[in-house]
Amino acid sequence: MRALIVNDDGIDSRGLRVLAQVAVDAGLDVTVAAPHIERSGASASLSALEEEGTLSMSLRTFPELPELEVFAVEASPALITFIASENAFGPAPDIVLSGINLGPNTGHAILHSGTVGAALTAASHGARAVALSLNGTSPSRWETAASVATRAVQWAIEHAPRGQVLNVNIPDIPLDEVRGLQTAPLAEFGAVQAEIGEVEESGRESRSVAVTFRSVMIDETYDSDAALLHRGWATATMLTMPFEVSGFDLSALAFSTSA
């Protein structure tokens, strides 16, 4: 089974190398392609630095995995996944593993995640997909991340449906302190929330607005992914690409013109 390893933290992220090792150990035929710089918050954007219509990329190596093809691509994670599905790195991947992200991807804020966006793009092209994240701003428990990722990847190889994403969040604590892994619904918010200040105008054509981010108080009244992660659980949530919503009467909106 062919696997693409991608992330949004960039080609030099340790989490990318940890996930590549997990994939190799699982027996997958692995190619690594990741942004040449950090592209966090890129969602599923298809953006790139191009020169005369050509997407730039360069070959890299992982010393611990010298047999792998590793590409640093001047593009967003979702675009990397998109071109991979069109055979840019050889035959299209059967499974895309995105991460391991530095920091959690919980709650409805996953809409903005480049890690999740890459996985959802893979799912939209019919691949199996897993997005993995390690909690904390400076995570350090990579042995915990590798252990949970190994379990998640093996499950995805055997059971994951094509066209959907398994979103996994891992607590940044010693492995023997992890309480287990539970399925969980998305929290209402993510790990942080934006606060927008007043607009300040400095001249007719110039204005600025203060944007700050603060940690969100986790709602412990129900077992969301964020709440369980906070209590030392790894969490798993199945995601799907957006499709049409049934049950709405749009007759008042519709119109036609005569031929």
CB neighbours of residue 64 within 10 Å: 10
| Preceding omega of 100 cis (within 30 degrees of 0) | yes
Mean pLDDT for 201-205 is 66
Closest by CA to 35, choosing from 54, 62, 55, is 55
pLDDT per position as a tens digit, 1-17: 999 999 999 999 999 99
Distance CA 79, CA 42 (A): 10
- Which amino acid is located at 174 in the chain? P
- What is the distance, to the nearest Å, from the Cα of residue 84 to the centroid of all Cα atoms in its chain? 16
The pLDDT value recorded for residue 234 is 97
Lowest mean pLDDT among 133-137, 139-143, 190-194, 222-226: 190-194
Q: What percent of the chain has pLDDT over 70?
A: 85
Q: Is 172 within 8 Å of 139 (Cβ atoms)? A: yes
